[in-house]
Every structure is written in structure tokens, then in C-alpha cells.
């Protein structure tokens, strides 16, 4: 067997003798090629068709709710990045195994890659609004990945750590403390008999293997990152910048003087867009071109409506301050923000569409298939439920739903605030469960009365004497009547309320505390305008919003 390298001949001995570590490295490189080469293709077919994002999206939709809660608790707002990194690590581990498998049986390794490609294709094709082209990134990636694996295992980049010699006793038994000669030679970087380069300048199979790994992994990284970057440039930020928002026929009432108590650490009355919390299931922010955007109002209506963005902008607009809150906001949490929204009253559109009797649910559907179910009655009861196009004087930021989203005062976001909305379907609660309902959340979810202490912060060290305790309280669409504070479980004391624009927004409050030395516990509770006081009982965020009093412990020196 001396002499020629068995180029492209996967003899059983040669294949099975490929070192495990190299085989694993070959597998990981093949996976990198698959993922990386899919990205430039996804520039054409859209970022959601890229295998990592498509499979990640599938995971987001399929993962059982308790696990998701756990992940959110564990990773906080970085849960999406954690998901992608976790998926990539898992993929790398599988790819390494596939490499080892392929070294033994090339067909099995190829079947594994085909399986992954099929998963990518299935994930991409089942995303909302997907078309056949969305299969392309996974197909191309899978094909190139399989080719890479072949090249390493049986093709030009193949490495045999041993001459394809008859099995020696060294090999039959455990390598033991003395490595077989070929392995020892490799460690010394010496040429091995039967392994000499074919010609001068041929780097030899081992070098060629490593060069192959480096070159392919590098190319994959460049293709992947470049493709990702290009896909990002195909976003809609230019189209967003070009939007000229109309002047509202009904401007928002001015923010009353004193709505902002201007206490440091206290959340500002109006939340700047950059600081506004973001919650959604989207792994990549949907990029919706306003030129092609359509809104369909359909289902159980007598007169279905279809509107373009220009049609919407041509309608009379109102501007309103509304505080949006997430049902997943823990007591004391910050998944809440207040903004000035510009938009068309949903009521007017529904009135024109003429909902049928019994159509008690309006399903808002996003371009990415996410849905929320809002009571038709709530949307028509005269509150400022908007199809919003503007946020704090700007077109909606892309991550907050550009070009159009729903905003409904008094309801949690998951039942009302559909971003990137493209459909309002009239149906019945009995007939359709929106996205979060089968995942264990209530179909009906008015915002619970809540209050939060923003200052002092937990575990602050304070000096004895007067201390300003301040925060925010909210009971959207009912309004806040009183806020009370107590120290160390003592009597409740009335806080001072700042003025607010309307009952649809939160309100700031403050209370002067004569702090005495020692450890203290501060608690806050609010009473809404209906006279209902926040219960002290602690309940979790699921299924319809947390209850309990925000409690902050401080040390006064």
C-alpha cells in the first residue's frame, strides 16, 4: 500500500481510521459551511428563511410555556440571543457527532446533514407568510454542507491518520501508553510511510486538512456575517425615514405641568422610544415595506375592507398618550412605557366594516403570523384604540411595529397591541384562540392596577432625615385615585399624585419620608378610580398579570 494516496476512495479501513477529533472538526466545519452559505441566499429570500432563524422561530413557537418562562427568568431580556447561541452550540455538538459518524459511514453522515436540511426547510416553510423560495437557504446550505463533509471524509481534503496498512496489533489493542507509529509520527509532524506528499509543494494531507478547515470555516464565516449584514441593509429604515406623518385632526392633550416630578431615578412620564420596552416573539424584526403593506379587515363582517398605507395616512388621525404594559411584567418590573401614539381610531374602521352580531373577537394578525384577540366591544366602546403609525412624533420604530400596530388603552399588550399588523379578522372567542391562549394565558386580560417604587432602589443606603419616595402607578382606562405608602408594615400613608394627561396613562407619585436609622421596608399600593385597591396577595404573571405590593428594602445610616 506504499505510494499513492487513496484519493477519493473511501475504503473501509481508511474511512474508519480517520481520527475522531478530525472527523468531529470536519463535521463542525461542514455545519459552519451549511449555516454560513445559507445566509447570502437568505438575503434574497428574507432573513426569516435562514436556517438558524427559521429553526429558532420554530423552537420559540413550540417550546412549552413553563420552559420558556424559565428561560426568560434565566436570561432576562437576552433570551433571544441565548436561544440562538444555545441552538448554535447544540448544532455544533450534533455536527461533531455527524462528522464522527460520517468517518465510519459516509452515507449516515450525509443522511444526518439531509435531516438537518429537511428540518431547516420545514421550519422555513411553516413560518407565516412563507413561500416555496424560503426552502432555498436550507437546501443550498445542506448541499454545500454535505459536499464539505464528503470532501473531508472521502474527497480531496481527506486525512488518514494511518497508512492504509493492514491492521496492526497496535490498532487492534488499545493504543496504551505507546501510540501507534503513525500517530507518534503525526505528533512529531513527520511524514509517515505511505503518506508522503505526491509532489513537491503538496502540503500533505494533514496540512491540507487543516488548511481546508480554516479556509472553509473562514469563508463560511465571511459569507454568513456578510449575508447577515446585507440582509440587514435590505431593511426598511430608509422607507421609514421617508414617511411623512400627517398632522392629527385631534392632537393629544398637552402634558400637564408637573406630570413629571423630575425626581432622579423616577421613570419619566413619557418614555423615549429608545428606552421603550420591547416584547415579541420575533427572532428577526419583521421588515415591512409600507409600499406593499395592506390591512385587511375581514371575517365576520358585512363589508370587508382593504387599505394601503397611503389610504390609512389619508384618514383623519388622532394622537393620544397611552401607557402600554406587558402581562409578563413582575411586580416592580419595567415592562411598561408611556408614549404619544398617532393613528386611526379602530372603531371607525370597524364601524365601516360592519361586524356581524356575535363577532365578539377581533384577531389582530401580524405579518409574522403572531395573533392577539381583542374584544370587539372594547374596540368599539369609544376608548382611544388606535391603528397607530406614529410614536412620540416619529414613525413607529421598526421594532415597535412599523409601519402599523394596534394600541388599546386598558388591555395588556398580548391581547391588544399587535405590531406589524396586517389583518383584523372578526371572529368569536369560541372559534379562535390567539397566540398566547393555548400557551396558558387568559383570552381576556385587562391591565391590573399596579404601582411601583422607583426611588429609593432596593438595598440603597440612605441618610436619616427626609427622603423622597417616588414611583409610578397605573390602572389604564380606569385611572388611579390614590397611592399609599407604608413603612415596616405600619399604617398606609397617602402619597401625592402628579397630574396625568388621562386615565389611559400611568401617573407619578411621591411621598416624603422622615427616614430613621436602621433597616426599613417600603411598600406601595394603588386604588383605581373604581375604588378597587390593589390586593397584597402575590400572584405570578401567568395567566393574566401579577398581583402584590411592590416592596423595597433599604438601609438608613
Interface contacts to Mo ion, rule CB under 5 A: 279, 326, 413-414
Task: State the nearest-atom distance from the C-beta of 326 to ligand MTE, in Å.
Answer: 3
Binding residues for ligand MTE, total number by CB under 6 A: 18
- Distance (Å, rounded) from C-alpha 181 to C-alpha 169? 11
Partner that binds at residue 24, options ligand MTE, Mo ion, none, CB closer than 5 to 8 Å by kind: none
Partner that binds at residue 452, options ligand MTE, Mo ion, none, CB closer than 5 to 8 Å by kind: none
- Distance (Å, rounded) from C-alpha 446 to C-alpha 412? 6
Q: Give the nearer residue to Mo ion in terms of CB position, either 344 or 372.
A: 372
Torsion region of 518: left, alpha or beta (phi above 0 gives left; psi -120 to 50 gives alpha): left
Task: State the nearest-atom distance from the C-beta of 370 to Mo ion, in Å.
Answer: 11
Does residue 326 touch ligand MTE according to CB under 6 A? Answer: yes
Question: Which residue in 359, 379, 387, 417 binds ligand MTE (CB under 6 A)?
Answer: 417
**In whole angstroms, what separates CA 267 from the centre of its chain?**
25
Q: Which residue is nearest to ligand MTE (CB)?
A: 413
Partner that binds at residue 276, options ligand MTE, Mo ion, none, CB closer than 5 to 8 Å by kind: ligand MTE
Question: Which residue in 324, 353, 387, 404 binds ligand MTE (CB under 6 A)?
Answer: 324
Does residue 366 touch ligand MTE according to CB under 6 A? Answer: yes
Task: State the nearest-atom distance from the C-beta of 327 to Mo ion, in Å.
Answer: 5
How many other C-beta atoms can be found within 10 angstroms of the C-beta atom of residue 489? 7
Strand order from edge to edge, sheet including 421-427: 305-308, 294-299, 421-427, 361-366, 371-375
Partner that binds at residue 280, options Mo ion, ligand MTE, none, CB closer than 5 to 8 Å by kind: ligand MTE
Question: Which listed range, 179-187, 261-269, 276-284, 463-471, lies at the site for ligand MTE (CB under 6 A)?
Answer: 276-284
Question: Which listed range, 96-104, 301-309, 418-426, 509-517, lies at the site for ligand MTE (CB under 6 A)?
Answer: 418-426
Task: State the nearest-atom distance from the C-beta of 46 to ligand MTE, in Å.
Answer: 16
Question: Which residue in 276, 474, 506, 513 binds ligand MTE (CB under 6 A)?
Answer: 276
Q: How far apart are the two ends of the chain, measured CA to CA in Å?
A: 85
Q: Give the nearer residue to ligand MTE in terms of CB position, either 194 or 369.
A: 369
**Rg, C-alpha atoms of the chain:** 31
Burial 38-74 (b: 16+ CB within 10 A, else e): bbbbbbebbbbbbbbbbbbbbbbbeeeeeebeebbee
Does residue 400 touch ligand MTE according to CB under 6 A? Answer: yes
Partner that binds at residue 59, options ligand MTE, Mo ion, none, CB closer than 5 to 8 Å by kind: none
Partner that binds at residue 417, options ligand MTE, Mo ion, none, CB closer than 5 to 8 Å by kind: ligand MTE
Burial of 131 (0-12, 13-18, 19+ CB in 10 A): exposed
- Distance (Å, rounded) from C-alpha 304 to C-alpha 296? 7
Does residue 419 touch ligand MTE according to CB under 6 A? Answer: yes
How many other C-beta atoms can be found within 10 angstroms of the C-beta atom of residue 527? 18
Q: Are strands 421-427 and 361-366 parallel, antiparallel or unpaired?
A: antiparallel
Question: Which residues, listed in sequence order, are joined to residue 461 by a DSSP beta bridge?
Answer: 555
Nearest residue to 507 via CA among 316, 222, 313, 268: 268
Residues 277-306: x where in contact with ligand MTE by CB under 6 A, - otherwise, as a string = xxxxx-------------------------
- Distance (Å, rounded) from C-alpha 514 to C-alpha 468? 9
Partner that binds at residue 400, options Mo ion, ligand MTE, none, CB closer than 5 to 8 Å by kind: ligand MTE
Task: State the nearest-atom distance from the C-beta of 249 to ligand MTE, in Å.
Answer: 25
Question: Which residues, listed in sequence order, are joined to residue 322 by a DSSP beta bridge?
Answer: 339
Residues forming the site for ligand MTE (CB under 6 A)? 276-281, 324, 326, 366, 368, 370, 400, 413-414, 417-420
Amino acid at each position: 500500500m506504499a505510494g499513492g494516496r487513496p484519493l477519493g476512495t473511501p475504503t473501509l479501513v481508511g474511512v474508519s481510521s480517520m481520527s475522531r477529533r478530525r472527523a468531529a472538526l470536519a463535521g463542525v466545519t461542514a455545519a459552519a459551511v451549511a449555516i454560513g452559505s445559507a445566509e447570502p441566499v437568505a438575503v434574497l429570500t428574507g432573513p426569516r428563511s435562514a436556517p438558524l432563524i427559521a429553526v429558532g422561530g420554530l423552537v420559540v413557537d413550540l417550546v412549552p410555556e413553563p420552559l420558556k418562562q424559565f428561560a426568560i427568568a434565566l436570561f432576562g431580556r437576552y433570551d433571544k440571543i441565548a436561544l440562538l447561541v444555545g441552538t448554535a452550540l447544540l448544532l455544533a455538538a450534533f455536527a461533531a457527532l455527524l462528522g464522527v459518524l460520517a468517518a465510519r459511514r459516509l452515507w449516515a453522515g450525509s443522511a444526518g446533514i439531509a435531516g438537518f436540511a429537511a428540518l431547516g426547510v420545514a421550519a422555513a416553510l411553516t413560518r407565516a407568510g412563507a413561500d416555496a423560495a424560503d426552502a432555498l437557504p436550507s437546501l443550498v446550505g445542506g448541499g454545500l454542507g454535505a459536499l464539505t463533509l464528503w470532501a473531508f471524509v472521502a474527497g480531496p481534503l481527506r486525512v488518514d491518520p494511518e497508512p492504509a496498512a493492514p491492521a496492526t496489533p497496535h490498532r487492534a489493542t488499545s493504543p496504551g501508553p505507546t501510540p501507534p507509529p503513525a500517530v507518534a509520527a503525526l505528533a512529531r509532524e513527520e511524514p509517515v510511510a505511505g503518506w508522503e506528499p505526491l509532489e513537491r509543494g503538496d502540503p500533505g494531507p494533514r496540512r491540507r486538512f487543516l488548511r481546508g478547515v480554516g479556509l472553509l470555516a473562514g469563508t463560511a464565516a465571511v459569507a454568513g456575517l456578510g449575508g447577515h449584514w446585507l440582509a440587514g441593509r435590505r431593511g426598511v429604515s430608509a422607507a421609514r425615514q421617508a414617511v411623512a406623518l400627517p398632522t392629527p385632526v385631534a392632537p393629544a392633550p398637552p402634558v400637564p405641568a408637573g406630570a413629571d416630578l423630575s425626581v432622579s431615578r423616577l421613570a419619566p412620564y413619557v418614555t423615549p422610544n429608545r428606552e421603550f420596552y420591547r416584547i415579541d416573539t420575533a427572532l428577526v424584526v419583521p421588515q415591512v415595506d409600507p409600499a406593499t403593506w395592506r390591512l385587511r379587515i375581514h371575517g365576520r363582517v358585512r363589508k370587508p375592507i382593504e387599505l394601503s398605507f397611503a389610504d390609512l395616512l389619508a384618514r383623519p388621525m388622532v394622537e393620544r398618550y397611552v401607557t402600554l404594559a406587558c402581562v409578563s411584567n413582575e411586580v416592580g418590573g419595567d415592562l411598561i412605557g408611556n408614549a404619544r401614539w398617532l393613528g386611526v381610531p379602530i372603531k371607525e374602521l370597524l364601524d365601516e366594516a360592519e361586524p356581524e352580531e356575535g363577532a365578539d373577537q377581533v384577531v389582530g394578525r401580524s405579518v409574522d403570523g403572531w395573533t392577539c384577540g381583542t374584544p370587539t366591544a372594547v374596540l368599539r366602546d369609544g376608548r382611544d384604540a388606535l391603528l397607530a403609525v406614529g410614536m412620540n412624533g416619529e414613525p413607529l420604530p421598526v421594532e415597535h411595529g412599523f409601519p402599523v400596530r394596534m394600541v388599546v388603552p386598558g388591555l395588556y399588550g398580548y391581547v391588544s397591541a399587535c405590531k406589524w399588523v396586517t389583518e383584523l379578522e372578526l371572529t368569536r372567542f369560541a372559534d379562535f384562540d390567539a397566540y398566547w391562549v393555548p400557551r396558558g394565558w387568559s383570552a381576556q386580560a385587562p391591565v391590573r392596577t399596579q404601582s411601583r417604587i422607583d426611588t429609593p432602589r432596593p438595598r440603597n443606603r440612605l441618610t436619616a432625615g427626609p427622603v423622597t419616595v417616588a414611583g409610578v402607578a397605573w390602572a389604564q382606562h380606569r385611572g388611579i385615585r390614590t397611592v399609599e405608602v407604608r413603612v415596616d408594615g405600619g399604617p398606609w400613608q397617602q402619597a401625592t399624585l402628579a397630574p396625568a394627561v388621562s386615565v389611559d396613562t400611568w401617573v407619578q407619585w411621591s411621598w416624603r419620608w422622615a427616614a430613621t436609622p436602621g433597616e426599613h421596608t417600603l411598600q406601595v399600593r394603588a386604588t383605581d378610580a373604581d375604588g378597587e385597591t390593589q390586593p397584597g396577595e402575590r400572584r405570578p404573571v401567568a395567566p393574566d398579570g401579577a398581583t402584590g405590593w411592590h416592596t423595597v428594602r433599604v438601609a438608613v445610616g
